[in-house]
Structure 1
Amino acid sequence: MPDPLHRVNEAAAARGLAIEVRERPVANSLPEAAALLGVHPSGIVKTLVVKRSDDTYLFALVPGDRAISWPKLRAVVGVNKLRLPEPERALEATGYERGTIVPIGSTHDWPVYADERIVGERIAMGAGAHGYSLFVDADALIAAYSATVADISQEAS
């Protein structure tokens, strides 16, 4: 299997998606990561791999300063049960370690659900490997993955 950064770049190119991958130092908090990348904390988008009860998965894209809203996401997906998988299951489902997960170049093409707050933004997200972030136009990412856009987040507590 090619290295994660190579997979991300190849997958983006295959979908005609312009991305910019940047090496970055380790950050110990969201505000620190945002400062390192020169973005507002909401501009860092978390990619959460979410397990359904039938052992399939989906990706949920949520602004960094917000949390996933399980009731909202379940309603949009149309299921009663969703959960975050164990780290080893997330790796198995995507080919990426937690903290680096991104739909681009995932080993499985799971459906993507994007929080409506990222529409129209240039966002930073994981790049498949620790120590890297990628920048992408959220609308282009949504179009490239036929993502479902909905209100799936809530204020972080």
Structure 2
Amino acid sequence: MQQDATDRGLDVEVVQRPAAGSLEEAAELLGLTPGAIVKSLVVKRHDGDFLFALIPGDRQISWPKLRAVVGVNRLSMPHQDVALEATGYERGTITPIGSSTAWPVYLDESVAGRRVALGAGAHGHSAFVEADALAAAYGAVVADISEPLTPKA
């Protein structure tokens, strides 16, 4: 992971943290709000390729918005085994930084201009980066691709 960041000129601070049972718990352990933790979601395209959707922890993917930005009619979340094969990272540790394949990155515009934490490729670790620098390093499409979380019933 660090080598990929270095190769791209991206400053990444990886910190160790106790195991967290939820995104909210991870945010508390890091002294952040859930919105400052970015979920790196692997999304499968209809053609079999993948992309990363980077969404703040207090929001969820808006499938209609993401499909419109990507320019496709169908996207889906792959099984965790497929996501591992596509990125080299287990669910909960996924990040575009150092992924085994450099899939396209789509970053929700709400995190632009902020320092955020995201998966660091290993459980119990988080990577802090400037969202704008991350977007530049990966040629990310920055767009409105999220919506508020749906309350759990």
The TM-score range, normalised by the shorter chain, is over 0.9
Are 1:32 and 2:22 matched, yes or no?
A: no
Q: In the aligned structure 2, how far is the partner of 1:40 from the partner of 1:65?
A: 8
Contact 2:20/2:124 (<8 A) preserved: no
Among candidates 83, 86, 92, match of residue 90 of structure 1? 83
SS in structure 2 opposite 1:134? strand
In structure 1, give the amino acid aligned to 2:83: A
Q: In the aligned structure 1, how far is the partner of 2:118 from the partner of 2:82?
A: 21
SS in structure 2 opposite 1:149? strand
Aligned to 1:63: 56
Q: Which 5+ residue runs of structure 2 have no aligned equivalent?
A: none
- Number of residue pairs aligned between Structure 1 and Structure 2: 150
Q: CA deviation at 1:33?
A: 1.2
Runs of 4+ residues deviating >6 angstroms? none
Q: CA deviation at 1:16?
A: 0.7
**How do 1:2-151 residues align onto structure 2 when only pairs under 5 Å count?**
8-151=1-144
Q: Which 5+ residue runs of structure 1 have no aligned equivalent?
A: 1-7
Deviations 1:21-78 (A, max 9, x none): 0111111222221111111110000000000111100000000000010010000000
SS in structure 1 opposite 2:68? helix
Q: CA deviation at 1:108?
A: 0.4
Q: In the aligned structure 2, how far is the partner of 1:51 from the partner of 1:30?
A: 23
In structure 2, give the amino acid aligned to 1:90: A
- What is the aligned-residue identity percentage? 65
- Worse-matched range after superposition: 27-36 or 105-114: 27-36
Q: In the aligned structure 2, how far is the partner of 1:83 from the partner of 1:107?
A: 20
Deviations 1:111-139 (A, max 9, x none): 00000001000000000011100100000
TM-score, reference length from structure 2: 0.96
